[in-house]
Amino acid sequence: MPLGLSVDLALQNPDYVPEYREDAAPQGGEEAGSATSGTVDWLNVSWEPEEEAVSAPVEKYLGLGNFSYVLGDPKFHKALKNTALYVLATITIALPLAFFLAHFLRQVPGRIRPVLSFLLLLPGFCLSGVLATLFQLFFHGREGALNQWLVVPMGFDPINWLLDPSFVLPALVLQAVWRWTGFIVLFFLCGMEAIPKSYYEAAKVEGAGAWRVMRSITFPAIRHVAVFAAVFLMIDGFASFSGAYNLLGGSGGILDSGLLLVTYLYQVAFPGGSGQFDFPAAAAMSLLVVPLTALMLFLVLFGRNRLSKA
Partner 1 sequence: MRTTSARYLSPSVLVSLLAGLVFSYPFLWMFLSAFKTNKEIYQPLLLFPADYEWDAFAALFSEKYLDFSRFFMNSVFISCLQALFATAVTACAGFAFAKLNFRFKGALFLLAVLVILVPKQALAIPLFEWLTWLELNGSRWAVILPGIASGLGIVFFTQIFSRIPNELIDLARVEGASLPRTFLAILPLVAPALVTYGLIHFILAWQEHLFPLLLLSDANQTLPLGLAKLRDSSHRIPEAVAMAAATFTLVPVVVLFAVFYGKMRTALAELTLH
When asked if residue 9 is in the footprint of partner 1 (CB under 8 A), the reply is no
When asked if residue 119 is in the footprint of partner 1 (CB under 8 A), the reply is yes
User: Where does this chain touch partner 1 (CB under 8 A) — which range of 1-9, 42-50, 158-166, 203-211?
Assistant: 1-9
When asked if residue 27 is in the footprint of partner 1 (CB under 8 A), the reply is no
Q: Rounded distance, CA 222 to CA 101, Å?
A: 14
DSSP state string for 145-191:
HHIIIIITTTTPPPP-TTTSHHHHHHHHHHHHHHHHHHHHHHHHHHH
Q: Which of residues 131-160 bind partner 1 (CB under 8 A)?
A: 133-134, 137-139, 141, 143-145, 148
Supply the minimum distance, in Å, between the C-beta of residue 278 and partner 1.
11
Supply the minimum distance, in Å, between the C-beta of residue 11 and partner 1.
7
Say whether 260 sits in a helix, a strand or coil. coil
Sign for the CA dihedral angle at 291, 178, 141, 166 comes to negative
Q: Which of residues 53-112 bind partner 1 (CB under 8 A)?
A: 101, 104-109, 112
User: Where does this chain touch partner 1 (CB under 8 A) — which range of 44-52, 72-80, 126-134, 155-163?
Assistant: 126-134
Q: Rounded distance, CA 273 to CA 290, Å?
A: 25
When asked if residue 125 is in the footprint of partner 1 (CB under 8 A), the reply is yes
Q: Are 268 and 125 in contact (CB under 8 A)?
A: no
Q: Rounded distance, CA 246 to CA 260, Å?
A: 13
Closest C-alpha to 172, from 79, 101, 265? 79
Number of C-beta neighbours around residue 265 at 10 A: 20
Q: Which of residues 241-260 bind partner 1 (CB under 8 A)?
A: 241-242, 245-246
When asked if residue 7 is in the footprint of partner 1 (CB under 8 A), the reply is yes
When asked if residue 218 is in the footprint of partner 1 (CB under 8 A), the reply is no
Q: Are 135 and 171 in contact (CB under 8 A)?
A: yes
Among 114, 170, 272, 273, the residue binding partner 1 under the rule CB under 8 A is 114
Count residues contacting partner 1 (CB under 8 A)?
A: 75
User: Where does this chain touch partner 1 (CB under 8 A) — which range of 61-69, 160-168, 206-214, 224-232?
Assistant: 224-232
Supply the minimum distance, in Å, between the C-beta of residue 89 and partner 1.
18
Nearer to partner 1, 194 or 202 (CB): 194
What does the buried/exposed string (b/e) look like for 172-203 if buried means 16 or more CB atoms within 10 Å of the residue's CB? bbbbbbbbbbbbbbbbbbebbeeeeeeeeeeb
Q: Which of residues 160-199 bind partner 1 (CB under 8 A)?
A: 178, 181-182, 186-187, 190-191, 193-194
Q: Rounded distance, CA 168 to CA 255, Å?
A: 10
User: Where does this chain touch partner 1 (CB under 8 A) — which range of 25-33, 71-79, 116-124, 162-170?
Assistant: 116-124
Nearer to partner 1, 3 or 255 (CB): 3
